[in-house]
Amino acid sequence: MGKSILIVDDFATFRASARSLLEAEGFDVVGDAEDGVTAVRLAKELEPEVVLLDVHLPDFDGFEVAERLKELESPPIVILTSSRDDYRSLVSSSSARAFLRKDELSGETLASVLASS
């Protein structure tokens, strides 16, 4: 079985398509959230190995959510996502492990990012 994943994005269509794509490629999507508060709550409850986290959320940005997730008893690996590539350079100074542009998302690219980070 693949790694357990929590998908966090304010766009329901992206959450649904990411879930379908990742589940079809062997990942275990344990939940999804549309905002940072829900993401932190679900991460505490579900203890996913990975959180696929959008940079733009309605309450906190992904960088703030990543900081909060880092403080959990079992902190997940955080992969920030956005349709914009200009956030990639900010990941090294954040609590996130890596960045993946939304249009690059696949089971293969996610596995590659997880293996190399």
Q: Which residues pair with 5 in a beta bridge?
A: 29, 50
CB-based burial label for 21 (10 Å; 0-12, 13-18, 19+): middle
Domains, the chain, with CATH or none: 7-110 (3.40.50.2300)
Tell me the per-residue pLDDT of 5-59, one tens digit each, with 9 for 90 and over. 999 999 999 999 999 999 999 999 999 999 999 999 999 999 999 999 999 999 9
Tell me the per-residue pLDDT of 88-99, one tens digit each, with 9 for 90 and over. 888 888 999 999
